[in-house]
Homo-oligomer: A and B are copies of this chain.
Amino acid sequence: MTKKVELKQKVLSENDRIAGELRESFLSRDVVVLNLVSSPGSGKTSLLERTLGTLRDQMDIALIAGDVHTENDADRLKAAGGRMVWPLVTGGSCHLDARMISRVLPEIDLSQVELLFIENVGNLVCPAGFDLGEAMKVVLISTTEGDDKPLKYPAMFRRSSVMVVNKIDLMGTSDFSLQRVRENALRINPELEVFEVSCRTGEGLESWIDWLRSLVRKRASALSSI
């Protein structure tokens, strides 16, 4: 088992090396990169569809849609008006890693991109361990999943900067509590920025969109002040 642990360390440090290079590319080209992680079915693709619906004509958004199998998510994002969408099918792997991103990257003209979303594989465990060179991880959780998820999957919530609670229109169909999920999440990571939204009704999305706008604006002004 020691050999297994050593190899895991080696794989992770190799991943960190490549992620570091990716981060440098993104920073030098002024691209904000968000790595979206969640359980299967929390609504990553729906959130991106909604985001494209509002922002596609206001900023240049690229999307890498990771999945174990199928290009369904990439197809949905194109249908939602995504002009720069790359499917990334892992063919069995339970997470995206930095090498997979570095293989897609040459196809993307980063000078044309302000905001890049990487939609990770639906999995609350393994993607937590793999840096993709992102500015931050955004973890989604839906109100149908149970409000103790941050305690059960702490690594993911610790390594994320933002938590989006989706499907708030379904509140009341279970004993999920917005206050409890927030408390549980902040106990794991007090720095978490929290948004509560419904990708179905649109409720709460304005704050998320505003936050994205300010993120891209800040990055641009930081660059111009250099």
Interface of A is mostly: loop
**Chain copies in the assembled complex:** 2
In the assembled complex, which residues on chain B have CB atoms less than 8 Å from the CB atom of A146?
Answer: 40-41
Given A40-B153, A123-B125, A144-B170, 17 more pairs with CB closer than 8 A:
A3-B7, A4-B7, A40-B124, A40-B146, A41-B149, A68-B152, A68-B153, A68-B155, A69-B151, A69-B152, A70-B151, A72-B148, A72-B151, A94-B94, A121-B125, A122-B124, A125-B126
Residue A16 interfacial (CB < 8 Å) = no
Contact of A70 among B92, B124, B152, B170 (CB under 8 A): B152
Residue A178 interfacial (CB < 8 Å) = no
Contact of A142 among B41, B94, B123, B152 (CB under 8 A): B41
Please tell me if the beta carbons of B152 and A40 are within 8 angstroms of each other in the complex.
yes
Q: How far is the CA of A201 from the CA of B184 in the complex (A)?
A: 27
In the assembled complex, which residues on chain B have CB atoms less than 8 Å from the CB atom of A20?
Answer: none
Please tell me if the beta carbons of A69 and B153 are within 8 angstroms of each other in the complex.
yes
Interface size class of A (residues with CB under 8 A): 35 or more
Residue A161 interfacial (CB < 8 Å) = no
Residue A167 interfacial (CB < 8 Å) = yes
In the assembled complex, which residues on chain B have CB atoms less than 8 Å from the CB atom of A170?
Answer: 144, 170, 173
Please tell me if the beta carbons of A41 and B122 are within 8 angstroms of each other in the complex.
no
Closest 3 CB pairs of A and B: A41-B145, A94-B125, A144-B144
In the assembled complex, which residues on chain B have CB atoms less than 8 Å from the CB atom of A94?
Answer: 94, 123, 125-126
In the assembled complex, which residues on chain B have CB atoms less than 8 Å from the CB atom of A122?
Answer: 39, 124, 152-153
Chain B CB within 10 A, most for which of A40, A69, A148, A173: A40
